[in-house]
Amino acid sequence: MPTMPRPRLILGLLIVMTLVVPATRAAAAGVRVSIACGALGVELALCREAAEEWAQQTGNSVSIVNTPNSSSDRFSLYVQLLASRSPEIDVLQIDVVWPGMLGSHLLDLGPAFADRVPGMFPALTDNNTVDGRLVAIPWYVDAGVLYYRRDLLEKHGIAPPQSWDEMTRAAGTIQTRERAAGQSGLWGFVFQGKPYEGLTCDALEWIASWGGGSFVDADGDITVNNPLAATALRRAASWIGTIAPRGVLNYDEESARGVFQTGNAVFMRNWPYAWALAQGEDSPVRGRVGVIALPKGGPDGRHAGTLGGWQLAVSRYSRHPQAATDLVRHLTSARIQKMRAIRGAYNPTIMALYHDPEILAANPFFEALLPSFVEAIPRPARQTGAHYNQVSAAIWRTVHAVLSGSTDAPEGLEQLQQSLDRIRHRARW
């Protein structure tokens, strides 16, 4: 892990806002705990509210640190802070693919959460266990889903698509007809096409949906160079400039949501958080959106959503590990997860909450799509351990080159196979 000489400076540059929430009660413990929360959609506001509640209940105070939206940028920030053993952030919100890369810098939360673990999705607690240590507590789980404009599909007599062929045709037909009728800015499909972690997630969905595997198999063998993966990428490349704007090559989650939520796209690939915002009071598409599983590839294909999600971890370099652990207990409790599910569409990590009528009323698709969450496809983070980031960067670079038209799919996959072989050889996984 590279060392970073000036973490304070970097933090100052990257953190958009730092909020100090003072304790109102006479401080019992009186320590200040800082937590780095995500800031996508309403994430930051919900994190702040729950952390403030904890501060008031315990007599401590919290600093809320806003981190970059791109998970790749957030990862770089954490690497710099942790490699320099900075005590500046006590609690870190970490991605589901990071435990193997960051685990050695994080405390073992197993003993403090022994009572909670049995109620959580085992796949997540297993994922967060590195060398027998539970280095992070699952906070919310993500899986890629397909959003569609229910009103437009109904208007044109088109059923929600089950396969990528159907989605491509429906997007093209509605885009052509609506443009002819005056909605000149309408596009068929938006997704995450920028070269970053989000593109690795989208590409995994395309490839797995065609039966082309998940880049690296469970034994660590590299499987990406196969004809079904080529078909999947060729199909995705065909969307650029036809049903998807060329600008999608620089879209992350929020850019895609911006286009969809302003009524300028028929379909969108995104995570569940976009539901709460699309249904928000001020959303132009409120009441006109449906959510279904991502389409299948060819005849042997399947609905495939990438497994995502975020965890809370305590830094080994924290000066207040007990208070920080207590804050994580508060934030990951059933009550706070329920509040976040209702107000932000963040999928709980506690299984029993999927039977909660208020949560299901706020997010009708949670129940129907539960299999998509339970069977979501993991990225090859466990097999590649500390090298996952290099693997993912090689994937997103290749996929971006294929989407942009600078490489064709078979050639790109051949090169990707070679790059991954080289990483594997050096890493000896």
**Interface ranges with ligand GLC (CB under 6 A):** 71, 95-96, 142, 197-198, 201, 253, 271, 308-310
In contact, 37 and 43? CB cutoff 8 Å = yes
CB of 408 to ligand GLC, least distance (A): 26
Smaller CB distance to ligand GLC: residue 253 or 326? 253
Smaller CB distance to ligand GLC: residue 201 or 403? 201
Smaller CB distance to ligand GLC: residue 201 or 203? 201
Q: What is the dihedral of CA 146, 149, 155, 158, to 10 degrees?
A: 0
Smaller CB distance to ligand GLC: residue 21 or 97? 97
CB of 199 to ligand GLC, least distance (A): 8
In contact, 79 and 89? CB cutoff 8 Å = no
CA distances from residue 169 to 153, 160, 233 in whole angstroms, order as listed: 12, 11, 17
Q: How far is CA 380 from the centre of its chain?
A: 15
292 token code pair: 């279904």
CB of 29 to ligand GLC, least distance (A): 32
Smaller CB distance to ligand GLC: residue 54 or 75? 75
Q: Which of 346, 415, 388 has the alpha carbon at shortest distance from 41?
A: 346
- Return all residues near 161 (Cβ < 8 A) that are at least 6 apart: 146, 148, 167, 169, 170, 267, 295
Smaller CB distance to ligand GLC: residue 191 or 271? 271
Strands 129-130 and 133-134: antiparallel
Q: SS3 of 277, please?
A: helix
CB of 396 to ligand GLC, least distance (A): 10
CB of 356 to ligand GLC, least distance (A): 21
Beta bridge partners of 290: 148
Burial class (CB within 10 angstroms; exposed 0-12, middle 13-18, buried 19+) of 97: buried
Angle at 43 between CA 39 and CA 49, to 5 degrees: 115
Smaller CB distance to ligand GLC: residue 347 or 417? 347
Please give the residue whose beta carbon sits closest to ligand GLC in the complex.
Answer: 308
CB of 390 to ligand GLC, least distance (A): 15
CB of 94 to ligand GLC, least distance (A): 10
> How far is 125 from 134, CA to CA, in rounded Å?
7
307 token code pair: 């497994």
